[in-house]
Structure 1
Amino acid sequence: MKNVALVILIEFLLVGCAPSIPERKQEFEIPQNPKYYNHQVMVLGSFHFQKSGDGSDVVGNAETEILSKENQLTIDSFTNRIIQEFDPTIIAIEWMPKYQGLVDSLYRSYKDGMWKLEENEAFQIGFRIAKSQGLTSVYCVDNRPIQPRSVLKMDDWEAYADSIGHRAKMEEYDSSNAAYNQYLDSIRMEMTIYQYLELLNSPDNISRNKELWFAGLVNLGHGDTYVGADLTGHWYQRNSRIFTNVRNLAQTKNERILIIYGMAHKWVLDEMFEASPEFEVIQPSEILF
């Protein structure tokens, strides 16, 4: 009984000495960045209108007849909707800055009625909107950094994965990711361009596309060689440079910037613009579809 009493006494003393929990949370005033800018940005994730010009790793088999009368009417209606709902003051496209002179020349010819728009989303969407808005240029903002050293020196990915016991981790999601890519490719021909762009920019699809970068290949790495993680980091590097190029286009403190890019870029560019105190991200899924 004495031992039991001693234990009860110790517990009573410990509880009595414990600090009390405040009834309400402490309020903190974390210093915030000043609002110097009030830019709006909308990243329109697109498929590449010209399959032969698709620079992605996964090139689809479906080919949409962009220049057909029906599709031209759809694109014209869609671009008018962007103008009505977003009213862009700057348009950025997935072209390297070294081609800015060529793009400017084509845009001038298009405005003068001397050149017909070709099968490229930068032309079909970007040029149409720029002309209607009276913009002087459509800006090339892409960047292609050199791949990480770990990737460049990797001769045999499978052999390396086997050597560190990561083959199963690397290939674990291959079948489901392949099914996802095939689904996007196959369903394109069953939809209008408007419907397909709605699908690509839907929150569910953007979330699923992001998973490609964080399931499977990203796990391939050991010691000082992390080729999978380095590729994901390389994707962030490329898109952070695109972010910088876009930011530096702003001429006033209240721009509305339309970015027309391959859909795979959308989730990471959205992340970066959402993190910036200078931008409000407008989602196509909320105002266009």
Structure 2
Amino acid sequence: MTKATRIGLLGTGPWAARTHAPALAAHPEVEFSGVWGRRPDAAAGIAAEYGTRAYGDVDALFAASDAVAVALPPDVQAPLASRAAAAGCHLLLDKPVATSVAGAREVALAAEKAQVASVVFCTLRFAEETAPWVEEQAAAGGWYLARAHWLGALFTPGSTSAYAASPWRREKGALWDVGPHVLSVLLPVLGDVTELVAAPGPDDTRQLALRHAGGAASSALLSLSTPAAAADVGLTLHGDRGVVSMPRWGDAVASFTSAVTALLTAARTGTPHPCDARFGLRLTEILARAESGATES
């Protein structure tokens, strides 16, 4: 039998508890090696639920792990991911890798220097409904326009979401929280962004107009403050084959499980995954330009 890969979890918030921990505990090729968090009591609770160990010293968890999965705010994630890479741990990162280009670059360089595998968990690239769709449209080509919208109600009065209390989401808004998801589809299908214009809307709403290396244009409307009755997510491509729309997706745990498998494959084969730390850096570069309102060309 192949020895299980030891993967530790950094983070104890709702995303870690609801998605990362159950996926790591159930994965047949993984030994869930432990949990570290900024709230020791929460780390102990997750560890007890899944039969693993809570660590008070993050470096001790690195030493006991072959890889780490990170469910922390992006600018807490970045320096810890760099330390984990330096300790020889493969990296399963959350999006965005960081909210500064310098932070994301540090992670990408640390992974390359340590020669560890990395995967950034952009949900649409791993969900069983959307991942093959993205690959199919990228292979087909011939796209002329794309229209994307991610209109969430996270910050709408009356929201009961556990993520509404997230300080970094409150500060950075939809651009940084859901923008990576949209870009993670647009870039492989249409090509890298060569020109960018960003315009603000109400509350945290941002509208992006993008030009891509393949010649296509795209637009993305992003918000976490949409009235609940108007919340919706969609992405439509227009091209030689007509109009196609991205399918809906479901279970976050199943999607994260696929990301774990992708990291294990990249670590075993030495072949970088398309959604690696270098891709995460590129997403951060684009989002930082959009945040500044500047044009990229």
Q: TM-score range by the shorter chain?
A: under 0.3
Larger relative helix fraction: 1
Larger Rg: 1
Higher relative contact order (CA 8 A, sep 6+): 1
TM-score (norm 2): 0.20
